[in-house]
Amino acid sequence: MKHSFLTVLLLFGLLLNYPTFSAVNGQVYSVSLSIPASADTVNTMRPSFVWNALGMNERTSFSVKVVKAEAGQTAQVAIQENIPVIMFGSLVSPSMMYPGQQPDLDSAATYVWQVTMFDSGIPVSLSEVWVFYTPFPPIYKGLFYQLNNKNRNTIFKYPNLAFAYTNRYNLQELTLSVKNHRTGETEFSGSIPINAGENNIRTSKLAQFPILPAGEYDVKITTSKSESFSFLYKKP
């Protein structure tokens, strides 16, 4: 009966995306994720991974699994179905530096990760599944943020805005709105003229807001076709 009850608890934890617990000979085991935090945007394409573990001993080891999620996938589906971009085992400490031989993660992408805890090679706990995001390419390298129908967020600290947009619908303009992050009040709304086909746009509209005090603002660029690009602008 105790074994059946424990099995139910483990399954219940997995369904609710909680870390699972197990007990063997009175020893309780559990592993839970720490860094990257849930829904965090990392600042590097080669992030480190940190987790917390209960019940560690000289027989403890861990494996880390990282997969890239596709549009519309839940974290649970992605971790179960997608091919891992990182799959490392036999780790003896609750952290992992980004593998030196591993290619960089893709920019502006969604990733999912999970950790398994082992005792003497036997899995004893499975962490929750967390999502993290990689940043857009930095503007100072001459690259453009891609405007598409994936409504993503990033941190933007530059007074000029540069982005790419493929105008497949022969639209005449994009809409730009700026809201106060703290109050939600609209500070500015306007339009950006565009051409048909490929558009690589540099605009200094954000630099034209000297009346805005230093602070955080939600900036959103949209089209009439429900495409959007949003980010948090930190005005110095």
Same domain, 15 and 122: yes
Poorest-pLDDT segment among 68-82, 148-162, 168-182: 148-162
Residues near 90 by beta carbon (within 8 Å), at least 6 away in sequence:
61, 63
One domain for residues 26 and 115: yes
Number of domains in the chain: 2
The Cα–Cα gap between 9 and 195 comes to: 57
Same domain, 117 and 13: yes
List residues bridging with 67 in a β-sheet.
84, 112
The domain of 64 spans 2-133
Please count the other Cβ atoms lying within 10 Å of the Cβ belonging to residue 150.
13
Regarding whether 156 and 73 lie in a shared domain, the answer is no
Write down which residue in 100, 133, 166 finishes a domain.
133
Residues 156 and 102 in one domain: no
pLDDT score, position 105: 92
State pTM to two decimals: 0.58
Average pLDDT, the chain: 78
Q: What is the pLDDT of residues 181-192, one digit of tens each?
A: 889 898 888 888
Higher-confidence residue of 57 and 225: namely: 57
pLDDT tens across 50-103, in order?
A: 999 999 999 999 999 999 998 778 899 999 999 999 999 999 999 999 998 899
Q: Among residues 133, 164, 192, which one ends one of the domains?
A: 133
Q: Tell whether 28 and 124 lie within a shared domain.
A: yes
Residue 95, both tokens = 């952290």
